[in-house]
Amino acid sequence: MKIHIPTPLRSYTGGNETVTIPGTTVDAVFTQLTTTYPDLKQHLFTPEGKLRSFVNVYLNDDDIRYLDAQQATAVKDTDELTIIPSIAGGSPAVAEEIALPKLSNEEIARYSRHLILPEVGMEGQQKLKAAKVLCVGTGGLGAPLALYLTAAGVGTIGLVDFDVVDESNLQRQVIHSQSTVGKLKVDSAELMLKGLNKNVNIIKHNTMLTSANALEIFKDYDVIADGTDNFQTRYLVNDACVLTGKPNAYGSIFRFEGQASVFATKEGPCYRCLYPEPPPPGLVPSCAEGGVLGILPGLVGVIQATEVIKLILGIGDTLAGRLLLVDALGMNFRTLKLRKNPQCPACGTHEIKELIDYDQFCGIEKPTSVGPLEVARDKAVAEAAIVDGIPQITVETLKKKLDAKENIFVLDVREPHEYQIANLGVPLIPVGSIESRVAEIASHKNDEVIVHCRSGARSQKAALALKAVGFTNVSNLAGGILAWADKIDPTMPKY
């Protein structure tokens, strides 16, 4: 029978494209073939005598691997055998597979403490240089993340943020500084990062991360680091990571506690495996409402940066499949095991095939002036004269009423520690205690009551609660004590 030899093997068959070998079975033909052309043997078979995995043999139009023994055995002289090595390949899925970029002498000097670590070494440092990491948010977590990744020599860092630097950010967002207050956060961060390492390539995404742009932004990066502080963006980042197959170095913080993990790796669970659904809106306050120990995001962000570096280098055990819990007050670190949920709509059943409306998923209204990165989960109070039946009065109107000594009752519904920072000298009942302590102010039921808080959101809730228990004339102070400090009393501190 005729055997067709592929180009690379013809040097072992005397240059012949076709050789004719007698035999009645495939096995016999092969034995005869390798006897006639002994050099062929090692190219076709493993030392154990098995056909090499990349070599395909076709009997006429059929792969002999898929023919049953009898068919494969019996061959006629008119049959043809074709030996055909496989053709496959592909572009690198991750940066490390491409030829790695070289380091300059300046870089070799800069990264010498990495280079002498065998686990990093020259190849590892080149991998870092080739890597592209996206930091979602340049806030408390994003600041140490981006700074350490830049210092470590990650070649390309993408920054997503649309906010501007505010003085209240500087207590923890160490990537920004006093001189950049009022600037765009991405510009401010770039200034700091470039100052730290001139070699880093910064890609600024001065935009809100949304379902419309997330996949497009993510596709150019190898690793995503989620430094957001709200649930909408967290689910958005998770789903986009699962859809694009990029690992997510996750961190989150609240008051004195933090969490970190690595989600959406090939084998590991995703954020939805841990939390299939977001908590009801308002249950978990944001940092803006609940406060946060300034150093905590430093701690957690550096853990995220460590995980990013490990993912790039492929060393150690990442937090994939584990949730790290950080308690800064007790200074305890615990890890919980996480399992991949086979029913997970994102990474299990792959029911989620595209990004959804995450504001709706998390039960909140579209963000207005407060952005998704520092958003308040409370419904922002609309700018209208009357909201849900509660008149909204301005600080100027309140000032006039106070100056005119009108018979009004002003109530502060913030927390006692906020009262210490600044107050209007009026009674205080925190919004959470209004219903239980309503008896204390029952005498004002028919007076004009004006409720205020920090910015006007909690006081709106309190006003609704008072109205519900029979108060007849309740108004909300729009903009809260912050507006008072802005427009009436500039000496008052803002927080």
Contact residues toward another protein (CB under 8 A) are 4, 6-8, 11, 17-18, 42-43, 52, 54-56, 58, 61, 63, 82, 84-93, 97-99
From the list 241, 344, 362, 453, the catalytic residue is 453
Nearer to another protein by Cβ, of 48 and 61: the residue is: 61
Residue 65 CA to residue 477 CA, distance in Å, equals 79
Sign of CA dihedral 421, 424, 429, 430: negative
Nearer to another protein by Cβ, of 132 and 234: the residue is: 132
Residue 8 CA to residue 30 CA, distance in Å, equals 18
CB of 3 to another protein, least distance (A): 12
Q: Is residue 137 within 8 Å of residue 227, measured between CB atoms?
A: yes
Would you mind telling me the total number of residues written for the chain in this entry? 495
CB of 4 to another protein, least distance (A): 7
Residue 171 CA to residue 181 CA, distance in Å, equals 13
CA separation, residue 61 to residues 16, 162, 276, 463 (Å): 21, 60, 50, 81
Q: Nearest Cα to 135, choosing from 114, 160, 111, 117?
A: 160
CA separation, residue 370 to residues 230, 373, 376 (Å): 12, 8, 7
CB of 27 to another protein, least distance (A): 20
From the list 135, 273, 287, 347, the catalytic residue is 287
Nearer to another protein by Cβ, of 91 and 443: the residue is: 91
Indicate the helix (H) or strand (E) that contains 417. helix 416-421
Phi, psi of 85 (to 5 degrees): -65, 150
Residue 451 CA to residue 199 CA, distance in Å, equals 54
CB of 124 to another protein, least distance (A): 16
Classified as helix, coil or strand, 149 is: helix
CB of 264 to another protein, least distance (A): 16
CB of 63 to another protein, least distance (A): 7
Q: What is the DSSP string of 335-380?
A: EEE----TT-TTTTS----S---HHHHTT-PPP-SS-SSS--SSPP
- Please say if 453 is a catalytic residue: yes
Residue 238 CA to residue 198 CA, distance in Å, equals 31
CB of 55 to another protein, least distance (A): 8
Nearer to another protein by Cβ, of 40 and 422: the residue is: 40
Distance between start and end Cα atoms, the chain: 89
Nearer to another protein by Cβ, of 88 and 116: the residue is: 88
Nearer to another protein by Cβ, of 112 and 349: the residue is: 349
Q: What is the DSSP string of 437-461?
A: TGGGGGGGTTSEEEEE-SSSHHHHH
Q: What is the DSSP string of 462-477?
A: HHHHHHHTT-SEEEEE
Nearer to another protein by Cβ, of 5 and 362: the residue is: 5
Active-site positions?
287, 453
